[in-house]
Structure 1
């Protein structure tokens, strides 16, 4: 009986390594069981390395945070941004407020007011029908 088990094991190993599949029922059942236990997909080594690198980078950032300056946010020019604001009366009694980081020129203001007046006129036609 021990010899029979050894031969069955050898046939199973040969079949799993890509050899010929034996015709006996026991070995076929063992191959089917091994196939059921095998994972359905394999992991991509590049994705594993990419995940590991991202995890280690996050760990290093946690261990060694960037130094903060005591004078951060002062005199760096970011808090001195001027916001340009202009109000324009629209035809029909509306009012348009235009704000921009750049200077608002009269040409841009007229174009914006005309475009908005056109949009409002189209919407008014939609409500009348």
Structure 2
């Protein structure tokens, strides 16, 4: 008697888990809820898994086969010293700003930067929150 009852309950549960109608008896509803709680809330994206695997294998291969160091690296290849252009600007109130750039600083760029800095300082002077 108990075996037959258990078989019927398992059949109802299987039907409910396969997408069939959920039976109204409390025992099967609790079993379906428990199965739902055990099911993962998300599935992993196969493309993302593959991308992670590829990135990991590429890092592993770089570790196994590092690039050979050139004997002439850093000697007259133009990469060891980058010229840095620098200009100082006097600001109202005695402040100074140093402008530096990889590109050549033209007088127009320096004056434009000075104007922007003066405008910022003027706004800060008017703002009681700063």
Query: Do both proteins adopt the same fold according to a TM-score greater than 0.5, normalized to the shorter chain?
Result: yes
Q: Distance in 1 between matches of 2:103 and 2:80?
A: 15
Partners of 2:108 and 2:49 in 1: CA distance: 57
Is the aligned partner of 1:28 residue 2:29? yes
After superposition, where does 1:107-126 map in structure 2 within 5 Å? 108=109, 111=111, 115=115, 118=118, 122=122, 126=125
Residues 117 and 64 of structure 1, relative CA distance in 2, 3 Å threshold = closer
Aligned to 2:79: 78
Query: CA separation in 1, counterparts of 2:91 and 2:5?
Result: 98
Q: TM-score, normalised by structure 2?
A: 0.67
Q: How far, CA to CA, are the matches of 2:117 and 2:7 in structure 1?
A: 91
Structure 2 counterparts to residues 35-46 of structure 1, below 5 A: 35-46=36-47
Q: CA deviation at 1:49?
A: 1.9
State whether residues 91 and 117 of structure 1, in contact with CA within 8 Å, keep that contact through their aligned partners in structure 2.
no
Contact 1:16/1:31 (CA < 8 Å) preserved in 2? yes
**TM-score, normalising length: structure 1:** 0.68
1:17 corresponds in structure 2 to 18
How many equivalent residue pairs? 126
Bigger Cα displacement from structure 2, 114-123 vs 98-107: 114-123
| C-alpha distance in structure 2 between counterparts of 1:62 and 1:25, whole Å | 58
Whether 1:49 and 2:50 are equivalent positions in the alignment is: yes
Gaps of 5+ in 2: none
